[in-house]
Each structure stands twice: as C-alpha cells, then as structure tokens.
Amino acid sequence: MTGARNGTGTAALAVAVAGLALCWSVVGGLACGVVAVVLGALGRGRAARGEADNGPIAMAGIGLGVVAVLASVAFVVVWAVSWRDAGGSQYVDCAMRAGNDQKAVQTCTDNWLNRIRGEMGVSPMTRGST
C-alpha cells in the first residue's frame, strides 16, 4: 500500500503509553487514555477502509488507552483513601478555621505532619529537608 496513513494509529499507541506512565497523576492518565481511545478508533477506521495498514497498532492504542483510564480511576481511589487515612480533611478544617493566622496554620501543619509520622511511620518531606 502506497501512502498509508498510519499516523493516527501510531499516535494512539504513543499517547496510550504516556497515559500509562501518567496514570498515577489521575488527570494525565485520564486525558491521555481518552485521547488514545479516540485516536485508536480513528486509526482502526482508516485501517478498515484500507487507508492504513497498522490496524493492530491502533487496536493496541485503544486497549492501552482503556487500561490507562482504568488505572487512573484506580488511583482516584488510592489517593482518596490515602487522603482520608492521613487526616487530610481534618487538616483542611483546621487550616480553614485558622484563616489568615499564619501561626495557627503552621500549628495545623505541624500537627498533621506529626500525625502522619506517628500513625503511619512515615516521615514526609518538608521544606528545607534533603
């Protein structure tokens, strides 16, 4: 086939791989995954019409795009549970009550970090730490 228009299917696969790499960020994985599925469908359509010869690549883009979307949705759950377990909403409530009082906000932050250190055995990185 001369002049095969394979760019769309190839782009679907490339964007899907980027979506998998970015799925932890949720937004990156969702956006890239959806774009990969759309590009893959367009590329698959071209292959079906004989305008392209990389139908399997386009299908791989669709499949990996769907995986990127599903992984991003799974990370929404992971982030939400982590936020809840770390006492994130209590921290936000404390900081909101503190308002513009920077000393009170810092106290909220210190209390929250101490909670994370104590309950989870984790020492989060803070400004000035290496």
Same domain? For 12 and 74 the reply is yes
Find the domain containing 12 and state its range: 7-78
Q: What is the pLDDT of residue 129?
A: 55
In a domain, 57, yes or no: yes
- Over residues 34-74, the pLDDT tens digits come to 999 999 999 999 999 999 999 999 999 999 999 999 999 99
Same domain? For 16 and 52 the reply is yes
Same domain? For 72 and 16 the reply is yes
Same domain? For 24 and 66 the reply is yes
Same domain? For 62 and 12 the reply is yes
Q: What is the pLDDT of residue 122?
A: 66
In a domain, 126, yes or no: no
Same domain? For 73 and 112 the reply is no
Quote the percentage of the chain above a pLDDT of 70: 91
What's the farthest any 2 CA atoms get from each other in the chain? Answer: 70
* Sequence-distant (≥ 6) Cβ neighbours of residue 28 within 8 angstroms: 18, 19, 22, 72
Same domain? For 27 and 58 the reply is yes
Same domain? For 63 and 25 the reply is yes
> In which residue are the tokens 């803070």 written?
126
Q: Output the average pLDDT for the chain.
A: 89
Single out the residue of 60, 62, 18, 13 nearest to residue 37, CA to CA: 62
Same domain? For 13 and 53 the reply is yes
- The H or E element spanning position 87 is none
Same domain? For 30 and 65 the reply is yes
Check if the beta carbon of residue 69 is closer than 8 Å to that of residue 38: no
Same domain? For 56 and 15 the reply is yes
Q: pLDDT-derived band of residue 5, with 50, 70 and 90 as boundaries?
A: confident
User: By CB neighbour count within 10 A (0-12 exposed, 13-18 middle, 19+ buried), where does 69 fall?
Assistant: buried
